C-alpha cells in the first residue's frame, strides 16, 4: 500500500471547502492556480517513479471540467475527538499517474486504526489535513496509462494506506480487487482489511491446523468475526471468543465454540477450565497487560499474534493515562523465555505491509475463493452516511458493534437529516455539540490546510523520516 | 520427554565405580542394600504415576542377576571442562516400571545442550552426578508391563531428557521410535534431536513455503545440515548458510544455495547483497547480538526462530564473561516493534518440550517418511568410543565438525588405547592431562555421588522448583 501519494495529490490539487450543512450542494468556486506538475513531481519523488514525473499533466487545458468536478470527502482536520473528521467538498478532476485508477466510491469500511489515527496514535496516516480510510468499494471511472487489469466500469474493492473516505479515490490499480458477482458494495467494503488481517495472522504466522484451539479477543468485531469464520474452514478447530454477554448468541451462531464474557469473568480462568493446557493460537488486539496474559495462556509451540493496542483507546480523545499505561505494560519478551517455553510472539498490522501487494493479492485471491464457496461472508453491523461518521466511529469505539461498521457515500435524504439518525441509539446531544464545534473551527481548519500545501512542495522523500519521528504521538493542536 | 525419572532410578539403584583404564573389565563389587521401592516411590511422585508406585519391585529376590549385571556409563561428576564426564561402571539390573523399556545402547548423539549442561548452563539436566545424553539408538532387551508397541529385539532410536550416554538405558516406550530398515545405529543416533528440531522450527513456527528464503547459521552443524535438507524438500527455497570456508564445498553439495564465511565476512552484508529485502526465516542458534542482527534481517512477515545461545560457550569451562555478554546482549523485543515490522520471534528447544511426545511422535513419523524417500539423511562427522567423549565434545565445541558427532558403545580395542586415537588431530597433550586429572579427582567424584544419593530420598516434586532457581548458572564446585 505505497499509494499514499495519490490522496496527497488529490488534496493538493483541489481547494477544500467546509460543508456546514452536509448535504447541500456545494457552491462552485473558481479553483486556485494549480501547481499540478509540481505536485506530480513531488508525488513521483515519493514513489521513486520517474516516468510519472516526466508525464506532463495533460489535462491542464480542460479548465471547465477541472472547475466543475467536485466530490465530497471526509477530512481529518486535526487530532482529537469525533468532530475532527469533517465532511468537505474537494474540487478538480484528479490527474491519474501511470498505473493508477480513479474509483467512484460507494461504501467505506471503518477500522480501529482509523480511530487511533484520529487521536494521533497511528503513524501511518500523514499529518492532517488528510482524508482517512484504508478500504472502500466502488466502480472504476477512469484508468491511467499502462493499466491493463482494470477497465472503466469494473466493480472493485480497494485498500490503501489512507484517503478512501471520499466519493472519488485515486489509487494504484494493484490496490484494487474485482468484486465477485453477487457481492454488494457494503459487503465489499467490509471485507479486505479484516479478512486479510485474520487470514495472514491465522495461516501465515499462526500456521493453523486441524484440532487446534484459538482464542479470539473481540470476537464480535470485524477481525473477530472474520477470524472465527476462517477458523471454521479448518477441521475441528475450537474457537474461544471474548465478547460482552449480549453478543454471545450471534457469535455462537457465527462459529465461536466457547463465548466468554470478559466483562464479568476472568477470561484466563474460563479458558483454563475448558482447556487446561492453554491455547495453540491467540489473536490479541488489546495490548498492554492482556498481551502478558495471552503469553502465559499459550501451549508449548503456541503462537501469540498481537495486532493492535486497542487498550490505548479510552474516550474519544487521546487519553494520556491510557496511553501511558499501555506503554508501561507493553509486553517485552526475552528470547530465553521464548526458548524455554517453546513459544512464538508475532506482530501484525496490514497498514505497515507497504510494498507487499503481491503477498496481499495472493491472500485476497484465497479469501475471495472462500467467499465464492460460501465459507466466509462479512457481517455488516451498520451503515452510516458520510455525515454520520462521528456516530459511526463512536459505535465502534464503544464496542457496540457486532461486525463491520460501514460508511455509505449515498447522499443523505433531506428528511433523515431533520430526524434523529435511524441507527443511533444514544448520545444524540453530544453529537449535536460536536457539529457546532465543527462550524466554529471551520476557519482554523482552512488555515491548517494552506500551511500544509506549502509544506508539500518540499520533496516527499522526507516523509518516511518524519513518520518515524512521529512514533511519539503528537499532541492535539 | 518426561522420563527423567528413569535414569535417576538407574543411578540410584547401582553403585558407581570410576573406571581408570576405560576398557578393563570392571570388578564386581557387592551392591549396597538397595532402596528400590523408595526409589520407585520417588520416581512415581515425580511423574505423578501412582500405579508405578504401587508396583512392588518384583525382582528383589533375583539377587544373583542384580549383582552380576553391569554396564558402562558416562557420568557428569560436576560442572566444568571435558574431564568432568567420566566413564564409570554401573551395577544391577534396572527395574522397569509400567510402560518402560530397557535398551541396549549402540550409539549416542552429541548435542550442544550436552556441552552447555557440562558447564552448568542447561537447567534441564539434573544435578551431577548424572548421566547425560538426549538421544541414542539400540536394541530393546526388556519391556515393562503394558508395553505393547515394542518388543525385545526391536531396533529403536530414543530421545530422553538425559541418561542415554550409557550401555543400558531405561526409558518410557513412548520415547522410542523404530529404526527403519537400512538405517544403521550411528545414523539412527544422529537423527532424532537434530531433525525434530529442524523440522518443528521450519514447518511449525517457520511455516516454510515455496520460493522462500532461509538463513541457517552453523550450516555444517547437526541442526544446520538437517535444516538444509528439509528446506530442500520444499520447492524453490533459497538457503543461505554460514560456515567457515573449509566447509563450504560440503554444505553446498548438501543443498546450501549461498554459503557465507562468517569468519571473514559480515554475513548481514553478504545476505543483503543477494537478497536486499532480507530473509523469510532465520534459524538462530547463536543468541546475543546475533539475534539482533537476525531480527533486522527479516522481511515483512518474516520469522526469527532462536534455539540456543551457543555464543555463551567460549572455552571448555564456563566463561563468565561470555555468559555475561550473552545476557547483556540478550534479545528482548517489544510488541509494538513486532507490529510495525510484521515480524515473528520464536524460541525452540526440544529439551523443554516435556509432555509433548504426541507432537514429537507425529513429527518423527514425517521425518522417517522423508528418510525412506531418500530426502533426508543424517551426515555423521565422526564416531568416538565412550572413552573419547572429551575429544568428541571438544570437536563439536570448537566447531570442527561437519555433521553429527557420535559416541559408540563398542568396546575400544586394546591397540587403539595405546595408539593416538585415529580421529583426533590435535591437542593430544591436553587430553592426556585431562585424563590424569580424572584419576586424581576420582575420589572426590565418589563423595559427590554419595551426597547426591542422600538428596534423592527427598520427594522429587521439588525438582522443578529447584530447576527454576538454577536459571542463574551454578558455579563449579
The per-residue pLDDT for range B8-39, each reduced to its tens digit, is 446 444 444 433 333 333 333 333 333 333 33
Asked if A68 is an interface residue toward chain B (Cβ–Cβ < 8 A), one would say no
**Cross-chain Cβ contact B332/A334 below 8 Å:** yes
Q: For B81-96, what is each residue's pLDDT tens digit? A: 999 999 999 999 999 9
Q: Is B130 helix (H, G, I), strand (E, B) or coil?
A: strand
Residues A240, A23: Cα–Cα separation, whole Å: 44
Tell which residue, B16, B54, B13, has the closest CA to residue B34: B13
How near does any CA of chain A get to the CA of B460, in Å?
21
Is the pLDDT at A29 greater than 60? The verdict is: no
Residues B220, A371: Cα–Cα separation, whole Å: 46
Is the pLDDT at A422 greater than 80? The verdict is: no
Which of the four pLDDT bands, split at 50, 70 and 90, describes residue B308? confident
User: At A373, phi and psi to the nearest 5?
Assistant: -80, 0
Which of the four pLDDT bands, split at 50, 70 and 90, describes residue A326? low
Tell which residue, B315, B308, B304, has the closest CA to residue B287: B308
CB contact residues (below 8 A), chain A span 194-233, against chain B: 200, 204-205, 207
**B46 contacts: CB under 8 Å, gap ≥ 6:** B4, B5, B8, B459, B460, B461, B463
* pLDDT, chain A, mean: 80
Check if the beta carbon of residue B286 is closer than 8 Å to that of residue B308. Answer: yes
Check if the beta carbon of residue B169 is closer than 8 Å to that of residue B160. Answer: yes
Element (H, E) at B344: strand B344-347
Residues B403, B250: Cα–Cα separation, whole Å: 10
Q: Which residues pair with residue A130 across a beta bridge?
A: A76
Please list every residue in chain B whose beta carbon sits closer than 8 Å to the beta carbon of residue A294.
Answer: none
C-alpha cell at A422: 435511524
User: At B354, phi and psi to the nearest 5?
Assistant: -55, 140
In B59-132, where do the E strands start and end?
A: 70-76, 85-91, 100-109
Q: Which of B123, B196, B342 to mutate to test the interface with A (most CBs of A within 10 A)?
A: B342
Q: What residue of A is the nearest CA neighbor of B356?
A: A300
Alpha helices, H only, B180-253: 185-190, 192-199, 222-231, 248-253
Q: For A75-128, what is each residue's pLDDT tens digit? A: 999 999 999 999 999 999 999 999 999 999 999 999 999 998 999 888 889 999
Residues B290, B292: Cα–Cα separation, whole Å: 5
Tell which residue, A272, A299, A303, A116, has the closest CA to residue A202: A303
**Cross-chain Cβ contact A345/B335 below 8 Å:** yes
Strands B16-18 and B85-91, how do they pair?
antiparallel
Output the pLDDT for position B442.
38
- Give residue A469's region: left, alpha or beta (phi > 0; psi -120 to 50): alpha
Q: What angle do CA A383, A179, A88 make, to 5 degrees?
A: 45
Output the pLDDT for position B326.
67
CB-side neighbour CA atoms (13 Å) of B230: 33
Q: For A361-419, what is each residue's pLDDT tens digit? A: 999 999 999 999 999 999 999 999 999 999 999 999 999 999 999 999 999 888 777 65
Residue with the larger pLDDT of the pair A435 and A153: A153
Output the pLDDT for position B104.
98
Which of the four pLDDT bands, split at 50, 70 and 90, describes residue B396? very high
C-alpha cell at A150: 482494470
C-alpha cell at B137: 539408538
**A381 contacts: CB under 8 Å, gap ≥ 6:** A395, A401, A402, A403, A404, A405, A406
User: At A439, phi and psi to the nearest 5?
Assistant: -60, -45
Please list every residue in chain B whose beta carbon sits closer than 8 Å to the beta carbon of residue A309.
Answer: 336, 339
Q: Is there a cis peptide before residue A129, judged by omega within 30 degrees of 0? A: yes
Q: What angle do CA B355, B359, B362 make, to 5 degrees?
A: 140
Nearest to A347 among B309, B342, B359 (CB): B342
Please list every residue in chain A whose beta carbon sits closer than 8 Å to the beta carbon of residue B359.
Answer: 300-301
Tell which residue, B183, B182, B212, B177, has the closest CA to residue B196: B177
Residues B455, B126: Cα–Cα separation, whole Å: 12
Q: What residue of B is the nearest CA neighbor of A204?
A: B207
Please list every residue in chain A whose beta carbon sits closer than 8 Å to the beta carbon of residue B307.
Answer: 339
Check if the beta carbon of residue A442 is closer than 8 Å to that of residue A260. Answer: no
Check if the beta carbon of residue B310 is closer than 8 Å to that of residue B287. Answer: yes
Longest alpha-carbon distance in chain A: 72
Is the pLDDT at B418 greater than 80? The verdict is: no
Residues A108, A82: Cα–Cα separation, whole Å: 17
CA B376 to chain centre: 20
Nearest to B339 among A204, A349, A359 (CB): A349
Check if the beta carbon of residue A466 is closer than 8 Å to that of residue A4. Answer: no
Q: What residue of B is the nearest CA neighbor of A352?
A: B340
How near does any CA of chain A get to the CA of B244, in Å?
26
Q: What ipTM does this complex have?
A: 0.77
Output the pLDDT for position B314.
66
Asked if A348 is an interface residue toward chain B (Cβ–Cβ < 8 A), one would say yes
**Cross-chain Cβ contact B340/A352 below 8 Å:** yes
**A72 contacts: CB under 8 Å, gap ≥ 6:** A19, A26, A87, A88, A89, A90, A166, A167, A386, A409
**Cross-chain Cβ contact A342/B344 below 8 Å:** no
Output the pLDDT for position A124.
87
Is the pLDDT at A274 greater than 60? The verdict is: yes
**Cross-chain Cβ contact A339/B347 below 8 Å:** yes
User: In terms of C-beta distances under 8 Å and separation of at least 24 residues, what long-range contacts does B33-39 make, across chains too?
Assistant: B34/B60, B34/B66, B34/B92, B35/B457, B36/B60, B36/B95, B38/B457, B39/B8, B39/B9, B39/B12, B39/B13, B39/B456
Nearest to B334 among A205, A300, A330 (CB): A330
Please list every residue in chain B whose beta carbon sits closer than 8 Å to the beta carbon of residue A280.
Answer: none
**Cross-chain Cβ contact B335/A306 below 8 Å:** yes
Q: B346: exposed, middle or buried (C-beta count within 10 Å: 0-12, 13-18, 19+)?
A: buried
Q: Is there a cis peptide before residue B129, judged by omega within 30 degrees of 0? A: yes
Q: Is B164 helix (H, G, I), strand (E, B) or coil?
A: coil
**Cross-chain Cβ contact B339/A306 below 8 Å:** yes
**Cross-chain Cβ contact A353/B303 below 8 Å:** no
User: At B15, phi and psi to the nearest 5?
Assistant: -90, 140
Longest alpha-carbon distance in chain B: 71
Q: What is the DSSP code (8-state) at residue B412?
A: P
Enumerate helices (H) and strands (E) in chain B, giving the number of each: 18, 17
Asked if B344 is an interface residue toward chain A (Cβ–Cβ < 8 A), one would say yes
Check if the beta carbon of residue B271 is closer than 8 Å to that of residue B295. Answer: no
Which of the four pLDDT bands, split at 50, 70 and 90, describes residue A431? very low
Q: What residue of B is the nearest CA neighbor of A122?
A: B340
**Cross-chain Cβ contact A300/B356 below 8 Å:** yes
Q: Residue written as cell 543424517?
A: B378
Strands A344-347 and B344-347, how do they pair?
antiparallel
Q: What residue of B is the nearest CA neighbor of A287?
A: B335
Output the pLDDT for position B414.
80
Residues A130, A38: Cα–Cα separation, whole Å: 19
Please list every residue in chain A whose beta carbon sits closer than 8 Å to the beta carbon of residue B204.
Answer: 207, 301
Average pLDDT over residues B454-461: 36
Q: Which of A335, A351, A352 to mutate to test the interface with B (most CBs of B within 10 A)?
A: A335
Question: Mean pLDDT highest for which of B46-60, B146-160, B425-439?
Answer: B146-160
Task: Let me know how long chain A is.
Answer: 477
Residue with the larger pLDDT of the pair A139 and B452: A139
Is the pLDDT at A201 greater than 80? The verdict is: yes
Q: Is B398 helix (H, G, I), strand (E, B) or coil?
A: coil
Q: Which of A346, A354, A356, A464 to mutate to test the interface with B (most CBs of B within 10 A)?
A: A346
CB contact residues (below 8 A), chain A span 270-309, against chain B: 287, 291, 300-301, 303, 306-309
User: At A348, phi and psi to the nearest 5?
Assistant: -135, 140
Check if the beta carbon of residue A166 is closer than 8 Å to that of residue A181. Answer: no
Least confident stretch, A163-167, A171-175, A420-424, B123-127: A420-424
Output the pLDDT for position B75.
97
Tell which residue, B363, A444, B381, A461, has the closest CA to residue B391: B381
C-alpha cell at A154: 469494473
Residues A255, A227: Cα–Cα separation, whole Å: 10
Tell which residue, B238, B61, B93, has the closest CA to residue B168: B93
Residues B175, B103: Cα–Cα separation, whole Å: 11
Cβ pairs A/B, distance under 8 A: 129
C-alpha cell at A398: 464503544
Q: Residue written as cell 511449525?
A: B204
Amino acid at each position: 500500500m505505497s499509494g499514499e501519494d495519490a490522496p496527497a495529490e488529490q488534496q493538493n490539487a483541489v481547494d477544500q471547502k467546509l460543508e456546514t450543512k452536509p448535504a447541500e450542494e456545494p457552491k462552485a468556486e473558481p479553483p486556485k492556480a494549480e501547481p499540478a506538475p509540481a505536485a506530480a513531481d513531488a508525488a513521483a519523488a515519493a514513489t521513486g517513479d520517474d516516468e510519472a514525473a516526466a508525464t506532463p499533466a495533460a489535462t491542464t487545458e480542460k479548465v471547465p471540467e477541472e472547475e466543475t468536478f467536485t466530490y465530497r470527502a471526509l477530512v481529518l482536520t486535526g487530532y482529537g475527538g469525533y468532530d475532527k473528521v469533517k465532511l468537505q467538498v474537494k474540487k478538480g478532476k484528479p490527474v491519474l499517474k501511470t498505473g493508477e485508477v480513479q474509483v467512484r466510491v460507494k461504501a467505506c469500511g471503518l477500522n480501529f486504526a482509523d480511530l487511533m489515527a484520529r487521536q494521533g496514535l497511528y503513524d501511518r496516516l500523514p499529518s492532517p489535513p488528510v482524508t482517512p480510510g484504508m478500504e472502500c468499494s466502488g466502480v472504476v471511472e477512469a484508468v491511467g496509462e499502462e493499466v491493463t487489469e482494470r477497465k472503466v466500469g469494473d466493480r472493485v474493492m480497494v485498500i490503501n494506506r489512507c484517503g478512501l473516505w471520499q466519493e472519488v479515490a485515486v489509487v494504484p490499480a494493484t490496490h484494487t480487487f474485482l468484486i465477485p458477482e453477487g457481492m454488494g458494495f457494503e459487503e465489499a467494503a467490509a471485507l479486505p482489511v479484516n479478512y486479510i488481517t485474520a487470514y495472514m495472522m491465522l495461516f501465515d504466522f499462526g500456521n493453523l491446523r486441524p484440532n487446534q484451539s484459538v482464542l479470539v479477543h473481540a470476537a464480535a468485531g470485524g477481525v473477530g468475526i472474520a477470524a472465527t469464520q476462517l477458523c471454521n474452514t479448518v477441521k475441528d478447530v475450537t474457537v474461544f471468543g471474548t465478547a460482552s454477554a449480549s453478543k454471545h448468541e450471534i457469535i455462537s451462531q457465527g462459529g465461536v465454540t466457547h463465548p466468554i464474557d470478559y466483562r464479568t469473568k476472568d477470561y484466563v480462568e474460563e479458558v483454563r477450565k475448558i482447556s487446561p493446557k492453554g491455547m495453540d493460537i491467540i489473536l490479541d488486539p488489546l495490548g498492554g497487560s492482556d498481551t502478558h496474559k495471552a503469553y502465559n495462556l499459550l501451549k508449548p509451540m503456541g503462537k501469540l499474534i498481537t495486532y493492535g493496542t486497542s487498550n490505548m483507546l479510552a474516550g474519544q480523545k487521546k487519553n494520556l493515562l491510557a496511553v501511558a499505561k499501555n506503554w508501561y505494560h507493553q509486553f517485552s519478551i526475552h528470547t530465553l523465555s521464548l526458548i524455554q517455553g517453546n513459544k512464538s510472539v508475532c506482530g501484525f498490522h496490514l497498514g505497515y505491509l507497504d510494498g507487499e501487494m503481491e503477498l496481499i493479492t495472493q491472500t485476497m485471491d484465497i479469501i475471495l475463493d472462500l467467499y465464492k464457496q460460501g465459507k466466509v461472508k462479512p457481517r455488516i453491523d451498520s451503515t452510516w452516511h458520510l455525515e454520520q461518521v462521528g456516530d459511526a466511529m463512536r459505535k465502534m469505539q464503544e464496542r457496540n458493534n457486532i461486525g463491520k461498521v460501514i460508511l455509505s457515500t449515498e447522499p443523505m435524504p433531506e428528511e433523515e437529516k431533520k430526524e434523529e439518525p435511524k441507527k443511533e441509539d444514544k448520545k444524540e446531544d453530544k453529537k449535536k455539540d460536536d457539529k457546532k464545534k465543527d462550524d466554529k473551527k471551520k476557519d482554523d481548519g482552512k488555515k491548517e490546510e494552506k500551511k500544509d500545501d506549502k509544506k508539500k512542495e518540499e520533496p516527499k522523500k522526507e516523509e518516511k523520516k518524519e513518520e518515524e519521528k512521529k512514533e511519539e504521538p503528537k499532541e492535539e493542536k
